[in-house]
Structure 1
Amino acid sequence: MFFQKTLLVLTQGWYGQRIALNLRKRLLNWKTFVYGFPRNLPDFVEEPEILLPRVVPQSSLILSLAEHPAVALLLPSLAKKVKAKAVITPIDNSKWVPPAVKKEVLEELTNLGVASVFPKPFCSLEADSDSELINEFAEKFGRPKLKISLKNGLVVGVKVLRGAPCGSTHFVAERLLNVEASKAPTRASLLAQTYPCLASRQKDVEYGDSLIHVAGYILRSSILEALRESFSSQV
């Protein structure tokens, strides 16, 4: 198989590991590398540079799924080391990438000429970046996009056109068959929560709600959009 792009995924626990597994399963035309940082880091890391991997493959795109601000602060140095052209840093928990850290990392990456996005939550990512690399990734992973087939008011088919990076969209799609169309949005939201969604349950200052709820709203909106398109095609 010919790999056109290379992806370096940074993990630090099950949150990132689960996403990495899903990417490897579905992102077949990318060469994917995974590097795991230590799980239990102190609240304050005096010299974050010591966490940098000594040997790491060159990668076009970095996806940071670490769960500590110190790792986020390493992204500019790591991007330079692996010659990355773009970085995706999801924010599924604001404690992992606080606003001040995001601002600093964004500025440093911009100065290096490295494109970056910080989707909050990860399943809000869309292909609207100035970076072709990020957009190519986001065509397949990010804000869910589905095609739903209906018959006699029941869901008889669900095709995932773009799935949440964690794999929840495919999980939900398989369990919507034979569900009444009117009940599908609520059913989908509940299924996503029980997958389970690993976004923060704490109230987020920016949204005024928890990110796990925001993720549920995003999926519900995607289901409603797919249903509207299905109903329109039947008219």
Structure 2
Amino acid sequence: MTIIGVITRGKYGHRLIETIKEHSDFSVVTADLPEFVPAFIEEPDEFLENLNFDRNVFSAEIVISYSLHPDLTQAIAKLAAEAGVRSLIVPGGPSRASVPELKKISEISGMDIEVDEICCTLEPNLYNKPFAEIFGSPVLEVRTENGKIAEVKVLKGAPCGSTWHMAKEIVGVPVKDAPPKAGLLIQHYPCRAARGDLGGIHESGELHKQALIKALENEK
């Protein structure tokens, strides 16, 4: 059985755990970080030690870390590499992770490290399979009837669960209105992606809009 490690912090990461359990047969191991931590942590290794951070999370071959802190993420990457983790996925984007330092850790250890602004851009590679074959950039199958969406099957969906939410809510919508409606449903879903004019939530909405357009074009 594939084991996925999830490192949560405050409210971040829990929806991923729920989505994994609901939409896959993967087993999940977790470790928790406190919601509030100092902006700068001089000794992150010692900081984690004092937290009694559960290193059993690194028994997984694929780990998703919602540490959302450059110092903590770097320390977690080192621990993951030492434990033999194959793939470390870091949501939150470069502002929450020191990409040059993570790149060094990856090059030395051979562990794949991917830093994503939003997790629904995740594509499978040799390291993050089979997780990224089910969770990541959305892939859909659609069936229409009488000019309306009759069914949407999620072949791959966003780790936050938004794709499955959209697939359920879009049923009954006229085909011509469905793609923009899909994007809107994603933006209204309680995703943790950044909001605002340039927020990742808009990219996520567009990804799902395009995924539905492609599914409609490929309808059997």
**TM-score between both structures, scaled by the size of structure 2:** 0.90
Residue matched to 1:173 = 167
Residue identity in the other structure for 1:67: L
Say whether 1:73 aligns with 2:43: no
Does the aligned pair in 2 maintain the 1:147–1:161 contact within 8 Å?
A: yes
Residue matched to 2:216 = 227
Are residues 182 and 115 of structure 1, via their aligned partners in 2, closer, same or farther at CA, if it must alter by over 3 Å?
Answer: same
**Separation in 2, partners of 1:89, 1:152:** 43
Residue matched to 1:206 = none
**Separation in 2, partners of 1:94, 1:196:** 22
> After the TM superposition, which segments of 4 or more aligned residues of structure 1 sit over 3 Å from their partners?
52-55
**Separation in 1, partners of 2:48, 2:31:** 11
- 2:34 is aligned, of 34, 38, 61, to 38
Does the aligned pair in 1 maintain the 2:33–2:53 contact within 8 Å?
A: no
Aligned residue pairs total 215
In structure 2, runs of 5+ residues without a counterpart are none
Are residues 160 and 11 of structure 1, via their aligned partners in 2, closer, same or farther at CA, if it must alter by over 3 Å?
Answer: same
- 1:108 is aligned, of 105, 108, 128, to 105
**TM-score between both structures, scaled by the size of structure 1:** 0.85
**Separation in 2, partners of 1:210, 1:8:** 27
Identity %: 29
**Separation in 1, partners of 2:7, 2:54:** 14
* Deviations 1:62-111 (CA, angstroms, capped at 9, x unpaired): 111222222211133221343212211123x54322xxx01211221221
Residue matched to 2:145 = 151
Shift in Å, 1:188: 1.0
SS of equivalent residue, structure 1 residue 118: strand
**Separation in 2, partners of 1:80, 1:73:** 11
Q: Comparing 61-70 with 178-187, which one deviates more in the overlay?
A: 61-70
Matches within 5 A, 1:11-26: 11-26=8-23
In structure 1, runs of 5+ residues without a counterpart are 204-208
